[in-house]
Chain A
Amino acid sequence: MADGVRGASPITTEILRNAFVSIAEDMNAALIRSAYSPLIYEGKDCAVALLDQDGNVLGQSLGVPLFLGNLSLCVQTTAEMHGWDFFQEGDVIFLNDSYIAGTHLNDVTVIQPIFWRGQRVGFSTSRAHWLDVGGKDTSLSIDSTEIYQEGMRWAPTKVYEGGKPRRDILDFLRRNSRFGATLIGDLHAQIAAGETGEQRLRALLDRFGYDTVQAARQEIFGQSERLEREAVRAIPDGVYTAEGCLDNDGVGAAPVPVKLKIVIDGDSVALDLEGSAPQTRGSVNCGFTQTISAARLAFKLLINPGRPVDGGTFHTLKVAAPPNSIFNAQEPAACAWYFSSLGLLIDLFLKAMAPAMPDQVAAAHYGDSMVISFNGVDSRTRERFLVIEATTGGWGAWARGDGQDSLINEVNGSFRDLPVEIFEHKYPARILKYAIRTDSGGAGQFRGGNGTVRQYQLMDDANLSLWFERSVTPAWGLSGGAAGLGPEVVIQGPDGAEERLLKVNAKPLKAGTVITVSSGGGGGFGPVGLRAADQVRSDVQNRFVSPAAAAATYGVTVT
């Protein structure tokens, strides 16, 4: 054995390594199978992880990439607050406090300690987006300014104690949500997922014994850590920086700066967010835990992206963010739209690392979920309706290829657009246009992906909310490539009057109004002069680039 630990052969180690990942997948399948809310079983807005007795990841399965490594941190933070003996056999603990778990209050983390022969041997953990946790608005508020407006806030709380349900807690949960039955259903789905993990881990311990599983765990973590250190050592040492800003916090008008410095030194990566905005009145804040997760996601995009994550991963990464900043928010900062800042952080991380890892990075993508939402009463059924749509956009080009057109943003999980046929059936509106936005990707040797245009015509009066970002910092190019176009939303009233807006809360509109949303393109990579004329011609034939832009930008005439 190379440098393994006595007690686990390479065979047992590999069987257990595969089994841990498979257990996480089974837990995920159990959660999705029994969840009540479509956000979980269709949107896959959830994550599960099987952890060891110290809270390190054994195996994980994610629907949302932004939750990377976060469940581990939730368990470790809970232990810091209450000690490891807080976790007793038969307990089920849940929490959603943004300043502990890091994300908005709708994301609820459930922790179940796993015991085997009287000993704590691990944890089943999961996180799922609950439909409604009792905030001032149904689901997410766009204009909240304090966390108290966003819903119930729970520190780590036992909802089962020693195997017995706490009926008072369950009752409190049920009474404080607009969809109480669904909430309880989703909680139980998470518990069922945890039980799947518990049974499977215990079965492995029965079969292989505690010492062997421990030894294999050490060896698995060791393998991952060796591979990670190797990959980090290959990055040239240096100090790498980048900055950019969000348009605003959704409430005020001022841009929200994000600034980062990365120090690579041997096999360590230190990310410092000093200089980023103080926490804002609007809800683009997050707890530090979620900042660490976002940094891990950015890191993962560059370092061994194809490998599973476990307790040996991320030891080379250190993250620091000043207290009371948007990345280390404190009470009472609002956190509903926390992911807009984190999306920018991830893009900037890649930008900073571009000089050191030119082949792995990509130019910036269009950057945010670009949400349009409207509600009103459907005159066909006289029932209330609520549309919430995220919009796809262009991704950045990279050293060997173009960016992808019309693809959902990085921090989103298993999003799929809503087909026009379903949309028009469900809602009193028509989609007049759904198209790739020609010429919106940044030019370059490799072209940035194009954004998306979606045009809605209201058949009934409705109130419109918008969250379109990244007009101040559109997707930048790299190595001489040009930036992509930013987003644009045009509202044309039935009288023909036009208005341009990017963020708004509950704006009343008349039937007949046409709303055209255009998401941004991705950045280009490399100088335009190096783009092959054949590729320009192909782009024109496929209408990704207009003949005019081909002539003006690339100097290629296509007839």
Chain B
Amino acid sequence: MTEYRVSADIGGTFTDFVFEDEAGHTRIGKVPTTPQNPSRGVLDGLNAELASPGEIGFFVHGTTVGLNAFLERRGARTLLLMTAGVSDSYTIARGHRTHLYQLQYRKPEQLVPRRDVHEIRERLAWDGSVIEPLNEDDLQAVIETVRAQGVSALAVCFLHAFTNPDHEHRARDVLREALPGVSISLSSDIAREWREYERASSVTMDAYIAPVVELYLKTLRAELSKAGMDKTIHVMRSNGGVMTDRIARDQPISTLLSGPVGGAIGCVQLSKDTGRPNLLGVDMGGTSFDLTLVVDGQPQLSTETSLEGLPLLMSVVDIHTIGTGGGSIAWIEAGGLRVGPKSAGSQPGPACYGRGGTEPTVTDANLYLGRLATNSLLGGRMSLDAEAAGVAIAKLARPLGMSDLELAEGVLAISNAKMADAMRTITVEKGIDPREFTLVAYGGAGPMHAVELAFELDIREILIPRFPGTFSAWGMLRSDIRSDFSTSFFAPADSVDPQAMRAACRSLQDQGRALLEQEDVAPEEMVFALSADLRYVGQEYTLSIPFTPDSAVADILGAFHGAHERRFGHAQPQNPVEFVNLRLAAVGRLSRGRQAFAFTPQAQSPVVGERDVTFASQAVRAKIYNRALFTDQSRYAGPAVIEEESATTVVPPGYAFQLDDWGNILIQKEA
């Protein structure tokens, strides 16, 4: 029997699948997401492509269940237990504003209202020593509230627990014994790092989504088992690694951003395959444009992120999002033409969807200019209304005194320039020159805009991976088991106690090994990567510097000064440096099961037609290619449109393309 490696990316509208058999053949699938019970959609998609889910040898999926519970505020009522006297640090939320001209500014709405924040008498000093022991009577009061009011989740965040978690541990033991079945999350388990507000915000998020994520994973397990799939269920996590469903139930927060990171990991694989160390990955969909970077073959990770203004201390692949997509609406303000930020979304959607939208969008402009055909979406299962697009465009062109064609081109030019501006700003922030990068475009709309975006940024090479519309799911199959651990480690660099540092690293390694063992990773597949967060004394923010257990402190310092120079443009080797945190990435290598792409003979030429496509105000006859019919690495010149099930790639005049060894479309500027 064939065994498949299968990934599922459960998005808001569609669930995408990638199936790989042992010979390396790949198929994709797409079914509507079933938000009430996402397992249904997963089973629908599996049944559509497999004889039985029993054929699955390896299964990984990305889920938005936790994220949606948060976004729709459908999580569990959570009580937050904090140190008496300073519990309002949670509600004060650091007291800053993110809009400077807004008199009626409101802070982001917290998951736990102030009345559900309970003060517990206990106090540790800055060094972790006990000033006031844990008052267990205060815990009894909480226990009574939980029982009386049917609360299902508790979050605990005590001051300085990142230095000494004893009080949090004791509180957990007392609460767990009295309240079986209630989910309990500790700040010291989520992140052993300082900053009580950020830790409290993270631990409440974990507690808030825990019951929802647990129910979802239980249901999925039960339904897959019933259908004959008894292999381990893997879940994509925000750090770009995967974990088993058992670990996911213990750390629901790490599933939060499990969808889009697949694309970033896919880019890492492309970087390895094609020997291009630096990639700029862009994912353009209906409502948003996501940008991710691969630098020197590595994904870019942050140790903290935020959702709707709520900070989260967790390891996460950096993905920058702006609100420009196919659905962005063009409109007039004070006699000027604007595009976005308002979006037609998928309901009513662009005018050409024929669902009642009357305002022109980016997708309507693409259709008007021939870049999209009326049968381009969902492999032709969805047909577009060119007339409706034309009417919407004309309606806006008239008051501006422009021709319809000028307006349609203008909408694309403005949206492309906006996306390019955002890409430029992000690369400037990181001290990166985008001209040294290759652009990778995916998502439904990415390949249509890719070449023009590259042109704006002076990028000469563009890669369109196979199955661009399900690239995130493909990336999930390229991932390893990964779990990140951290511990605070404050020490001036000139007086680090090497023994203390070795002990801290050992303890991290022990935690990492224990987790990988739980994940059934064989010892020879375990890889541990240490890094240290360092900074100049006086700074708040740190840089993470990789090191090994044998590294001398002087080497770590040298690497820090170098990294500072690259990131910030200057280094001050004479200034004192301090260690802040130590981190460990525990990786369990998974078999990739990947083989080289092979061309297969086709009865038909890849050219399947021709149509007029407008470039630089000129309608030119472009050849239409079917991506599945290429049989070799011939080079073709633009103008061209390459169609496939999940996306449409546009190659303007002046560019040429060919398939590479891995089946990616490589587009290059002609000299």
Flag whether B3 is at the interface (Cβ < 8 A). Answer: no
Picked from A2, A13, A361, the residue with its CB within 8 Å of the CB of B399 is A2
- Cβ-defined contact, A362 with B92, below 8 A: no
CB-CB nearest in chain A for B575? A181
Query: Would you call B89 and A15 a contact (CB within 8 A)?
Result: no
Digitize A418-436: 1 where CB-to-B-CB distance is under 8 Å, 0 elsewhere. 0111101100001111111
Q: Give the size of the chain B interface in residues (CB under 8 angstroms).
A: 67
B94–A416 CB distance below 8 A: yes
B92→A392 contact, CB < 8 A: yes
Chain B's closest residue to A309 (CB) is B101
Q: Are A421 and B97 in contact (CB under 8 A)?
A: no
Q: How far is the CA of A17 from the CA of B418 in the complex (A)?
A: 10
> Binary interface profile of B, 60-94, with partner A (CB < 8 Å = 1, else 0)?
00000000000000000000000001111101101
Contact across chains for A415 and B96 when beta carbons are under 8 A apart: yes
Q: Which of B107-115, B232-240, B296-304, B445-453 lines the interface with chain A?
A: B107-115
Q: Are B540 and A38 in contact (CB under 8 A)?
A: yes
C-alpha spacing A65/B532, complex, angstroms: 36
CB-nearest residue of chain B to A299: B101
In the assembled complex, the Cα of A422 lies from the Cα of B402 at a distance in Å of 59
- Flag whether B424 is at the interface (Cβ < 8 A): yes
Chain B residues 378-420 with CB under 8 Å of chain A are 399-402, 406, 409-410, 413-414, 417-418
Q: When the two chains form their complex, are residues A301 and B101 in contact, meaning their CB atoms are under 8 A apart?
A: yes
Which A-B residue pairs are the 9 nearest by beta carbons?
Answer: A11-B410, A2-B335, A392-B95, A22-B421, A223-B334, A65-B100, A10-B337, A305-B101, A424-B126
Interface string of A336-372 (1 = CB under 8 A from B): 0000000000000010000000001110000000000
Determine whether B160 belongs to the interface, using a CB cutoff of 8 Å to chain A. yes
Known A-B contacts A219-B336, A361-B103; the reply to A419 vs B96 at CB < 8 A is no
Select from chain A the residue with minimum beta-carbon distance to B574.
Answer: A181
Q: Which residues of A contact B334 (CB under 8 A)?
A: 222-224, 226-227
Alpha-carbon separation in the docked complex, A29 to B406 (Å) = 34
B428–A65 touching, CB < 8 Å: no
Interface size on A, residues (CB 8 A): 83
Q: Is A279 among interface residues, defined by CB-CB distance under 8 A? A: no
Among B49-57, B191-199, B209-217, B594-602, the stretch in contact with A: B191-199
Give B contacts to A, CB under 8 Å: 85-89, 91-92, 94-97, 100-107, 113-115, 125-126, 159-160, 162, 194-198, 333-339, 399-402, 406, 409-410, 413-414, 417-418, 421-422, 424-425, 428-429, 431, 490, 538-541, 567-570, 572
Closest CB in chain B relative to A78 CB, distance in Å: 26
Chain B, Cβ-Cβ closest to A391: B95
18 contacts between A and B (CB under 8 A): A2-B401, A11-B406, A14-B338, A15-B413, A29-B428, A33-B429, A33-B567, A36-B572, A38-B540, A42-B541, A223-B334, A398-B103, A408-B96, A419-B196, A419-B197, A424-B160, A435-B86, A436-B92
Residue contact B101 to A432, C-beta cutoff 8 Å: no
- Asked if A452 meets B568 with Cβ closer than 8 Å, knowing A3-B335, A11-B413, the reply is no
With A11-B410, A223-B336 as contacts: A404 and B196 at CB distance below 8 Å: no
Across-interface contacts of B85 in A (CB, < 8 A): 432-435, 455
Query: Is A248 among interface residues, defined by CB-CB distance under 8 A?
Result: no
B contact residues around A185 at 8 Å (CB): 570
Q: Is the CB of A543 within 8 A of B333?
A: no
A33 touches B428 (CB 8 A): yes
- Looking across the interface, which residue of chain A has its beta carbon closest to that of B91? A436
A544 at the interface (CB under 8 A from B): yes
- Residue contact B409 to A11, C-beta cutoff 8 Å: yes
Residues of B within 8 A of A543 (CB): 114-115
A226 in contact with B335 given A33-B429, A407-B105 (CB within 8 Å): yes
**Which A2-26 residues have C-beta < 8 A from chain B?**
2-4, 9-11, 13-15, 17-19, 22, 25-26
The distance from the CB of A402 to the nearest CB of chain B, in whole angstroms, is 9
Judge if A406 is at the interface, Cβ distance under 8 Å.
yes
Distance in angstroms between the alpha carbons of A541 and B113 in the assembled complex: 10
Contact across chains for B410 and A419 when beta carbons are under 8 A apart: no
* A400 CA / B106 CA spacing, docked (Å): 13
Beyond A11-B413, A300-B101, whether A421 also contacts B92 by CB under 8 A is no
Determine whether the beta carbon of A18 is less than 8 Å from that of B418.
Answer: yes
Cβ proximity bits A277-311 to B, threshold 8 Å, 1 near / 0 not: 00000000000000000000100110001100000
Q: Which residues of A sit under 8 angstroms from B103, Cβ to Cβ?
A: 301, 305, 350, 360-362, 395-396, 398
Determine whether A241 belongs to the interface, using a CB cutoff of 8 Å to chain B.
no
Q: How far is the CA of A282 from the CA of B81 in the complex (A)?
A: 46
User: Taking CB as reference atom, which chain A residue is nearest B411?
Assistant: A11
User: Which interface residue of A4, A14, A33, A433 has the most chain B CB atoms within 10 A?
Assistant: A14
Q: Which of B104, B160, B335, B429 contacts A401 (CB 8 A)?
A: B104
In the complex, A268 has a CB within 8 A of chain B: no
- Of A220, A300, A360, A416, chain B has the most CB atoms within 10 Å of the CB of A416
**Which residues does chain A contribute within 8 Å of B424, judged by CB atoms?**
22, 26
Which one of B88, B115, B336, B569 lies within 8 Å of A34 (CB-CB)? B569
Partner of B86 from A4, A9, A431 at Cβ < 8 Å:
A431
Taking A407-B96, A436-B88 as given, write out 11 further A-B residue pairs in contact, using a Cβ cutoff of 8 Å, ordered by the A residue number.
Answer: A10-B336, A14-B336, A18-B417, A26-B425, A32-B429, A226-B334, A401-B106, A413-B100, A425-B126, A541-B115, A542-B114
* A18/B196 in contact, CB under 8 A: no
Does A463 reach chain B (CB closer than 8 Å)?
no
A483 to chain B, nearest CB (A): 17
